[in-house]
Every structure is written in structure tokens, then in C-alpha cells.
């Protein structure tokens, strides 16, 4: 039986009835009193749109960022769980990485932070363990509003710490945090999964519900750096596999992104997706087969790129 590792994005929340992303953006503009000052346009990358919203608000209303992020945290905490959240827990994966801020995957708000260290802003070690499942909130969480990764500056800081952790080593004062870089520790066979980043180099990861837009600079850097280590530098062994799930109806229009995923050593799996609930149930069923080592050869045809 395999220990599953999952990376899950916000799309699973869209099965639940409630506020849309555009509704949330309008609520943010209203909260900041700048509804007539900022135009919501799909051509604006969201991390830069967030900077526009915050910088406009701070100049006009002297709003504090911690108040803005607390408001966003309260709105995302209103997301209601659905049967896919329950089905994911029923799979009993060993680790769940998520870009989501709320705790619908856990099923309830965790009482204890089980991270190696308590992070106020960034999320290299941010972990909650519930019912023997490790939940890694890689872009922050609602209990710590300032950790919510939204703006361009926050992405830059997160990426800086990620690169230090992987390439050059860390400077944390906690003696339990490894000082050596992940690359050096892997070379010495000393990987203990202190961070969610370790899993990207050591465990098979199944990615779904995540659009992987190019604004996710931290994740694209991690994919690229992993692939460079595997095929170019070859300083360490990178034996794990990454799988990205996508509705088959989006394959043609997403070819540009799938080509980039292929180049970065990511296997793409397509499943029928016209019905969102059925699509995610299909993924859950496939993951259950993988966990119990019962995946039939016929399932291999769903892999577009290997």
C-alpha cells in the first residue's frame, strides 16, 4: 500500500455553493473603499493586481495590510466543505499540500500547529497534522492572516526562502532546522521531510484542482529547479514522479502549459471533466487504486505525457 502525497488547489472548493472569486475581489475593493479606483481585468496577473489594490488603498485610506489580509482570511474561512473534501480524507493520504488558506481539507480548524517552527509570514514549514495526515499550507492559512500569499512582494520573499532551503542552506535559529541545503542533505542521504519542499524531490506527488497559472512563480521555480537537477546538473538522484491532473476538455486549449509541464518532467493525466463533481470522483478513484497498487494497464492511456 502506497503513502499518497497530494497537492491540491482551490478548484475543489468550486463544487461548494458560495461566493465566486470575482465576488471576493469586489468585496475586497469595497472593504478598501476603492471600488471606483481599481479596475478588475483578467489581463492583470493577480499578485500584481493585489499590489495595485493594496497600494491604492494605503495611499487613499491609510489601510493596514494586516487588516486587509484579516478580511480576506475571514472571507475564505467561510468556504464550506463538500463531498470531495471528505473523499480526500477517506483516502488517508500521508501528506496533503495545498495552496488553499482555509481548512476545508482538514474538516475542522486544527488546534495545534505541528510545524518545525512557527512562521509569521512565509510557509516553508507550515504544517498541521490531523488524524495522521500532514496538511502543508504552502501559501499560508486563515489562522495567520499575514501568512496569506497574495502579492508580488510576498511571492518574492517566499521564493527567496525556498531557494535558500534547497540550494544554499538556512539561517534559522531553531537547532532542529537543518542548516545544510536540501541538495547537500540529499547528497548525504539525510532527508527527513522537515518541509513540504522535500517531498518534491523524494515522493510521488499527485496535483489536482490547481490551475498552475504562471503567476505561481514559487511552484514553477521548484518544478524547473527539480528538472534541472535531474537532467542537467545530476548532482543528486531525483527518483520520484509528479502527476498533474486536468479535464480532458481543457487539453487542447492548455497545450502551451502542458508542453511546459512535460519539459519539467511532469506527467499529465487527463480525465473526463464536463461534470466537475464526477471529474474529481474519478481522480479519487484512480488515487485509491494507486494507493492499493491496483491500477490497471488500461489506465495508462490517460497519461498524455510521460
DSSP-derived secondary structure letter, 298: G
- For the whole model, what pTM was predicted? 0.94
Burial 88-112 (b: 16+ CB within 10 A, else e): bbeeebbbbbbbbbbbbbbeeebee
Residue 67: predicted pLDDT: 96
Beta strands in the chain (DSSP E): 5-8, 95-98, 127-130, 133-137, 205-208, 242-247, 266-271, 303-305
Per-residue pLDDT of the chain (306 residues; tens, 9 = 90+): 789 999 999 999 999 877 778 888 999 999 999 998 999 998 999 999 999 999 999 998 888 999 999 999 999 999 999 999 999 999 999 999 999 999 999 999 998 899 999 999 999 999 999 999 999 999 999 999 999 999 999 999 999 999 999 999 998 988 889 999 999 999 999 988 999 999 999 999 999 999 999 999 999 999 999 999 999 988 899 999 999 999 999 999 999 999 999 999 999 999 999 999 999 999 999 999 999 987 654 444 456 654
Q: Which residues pair with 206 in a beta bridge?
A: 6, 243
Residue 301: predicted pLDDT: 47
The C-alpha atoms of residue 153 and residue 168 are separated, in whole angstroms, by: 21
Give residue limits of the domains in the chain.
Answer: 5-15+80-305, 19-78
Residue 298: predicted pLDDT: 40
Residue 304: predicted pLDDT: 61
Residue 302: predicted pLDDT: 57
Residue 300: predicted pLDDT: 47
DSSP-derived secondary structure letter, 133: E
Amino acid at each position: 500500500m502506497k503513502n499518497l502525497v497530494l497537492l491540491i488547489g482551490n478548484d475543489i472548493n468550486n463544487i461548494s455553493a458560495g461566493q465566486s472569486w470575482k465576488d471576493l475581489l469586489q468585496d475586497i475593493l469595497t472593504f478598501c473603499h476603492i471600488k471606483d479606483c481599481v479596475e478588475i481585468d483578467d489581463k492583470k496577473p493577480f499578485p500584481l493586481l493585489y499590489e495595485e489594490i493594496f497600494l491604492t488603498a494605503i495611499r487613499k485610506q491609510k489601510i493596514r495590510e494586516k487588516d486587509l489580509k484579516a478580511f480576506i482570511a475571514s472571507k475564505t474561512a467561510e468556504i464550506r466543505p463538500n463531498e470531495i473534501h471528505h473523499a480526500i480524507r477517506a483516502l488517508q493520504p500521508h501528506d496533503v499540500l495545498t495552496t488553499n488558506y482555509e481548512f476545508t481539507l482538514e474538516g475542522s480548524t486544527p488546534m495545534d500547529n505541528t510545524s518545525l517552527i512557527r512562521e509569521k509570514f512565509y510557509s516553508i514549514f507550515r504544517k498541521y497534522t490531523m488524524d495522521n495526515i500532514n496538511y502543508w499550507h504552502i501559501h499560508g492559512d486563515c489562522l495567520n492572516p499575514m501568512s496569506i500569499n497574495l502579492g508580488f512582494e510576498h511571492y518574492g520573499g517566499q521564493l527567496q526562502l525556498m531557494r535558500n532551503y534547497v540550494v544554499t542552506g538556512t539561517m534559522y535559529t531553531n537547532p532542529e532546522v537543518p542548516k545544510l541545503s536540501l541538495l547537500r542533505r540529499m547528497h548525504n542521504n539525510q532527508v527527513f521531510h522537515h518541509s513540504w519542499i522535500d517531498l518534491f524531490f523524494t515522493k510521488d506527488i499527485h496535483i489536482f484542482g490547481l490551475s498552475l497559472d504562471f503567476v505561481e512563480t514559487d511552484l514553477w521555480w521548484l518544478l524547473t529547479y527539480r528538472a534541472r537537477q535531474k537532467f542537467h546538473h545530476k548532482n543528486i538522484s531525483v527518483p520520484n514522479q509528479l502527476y498533474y491532473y486536468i479535464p480532458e476538455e481543457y487539453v487542447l486549449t492548455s497545450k502551451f502549459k502542458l508542453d511546459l509541464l512535460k519539459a519539467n518532467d511532469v506527467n499529465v493525466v487527463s480525465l473526463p471533466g464536463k461534470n466537475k463533481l464526477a471529474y474529481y470522483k474519478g481522480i479519487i478513484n484512480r488515487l485509491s487504486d494507486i494507493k492499493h497498487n491496483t491500477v490497471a494497464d488500461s489506465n495508462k492511456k490517460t497519461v498524455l505525457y510521460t
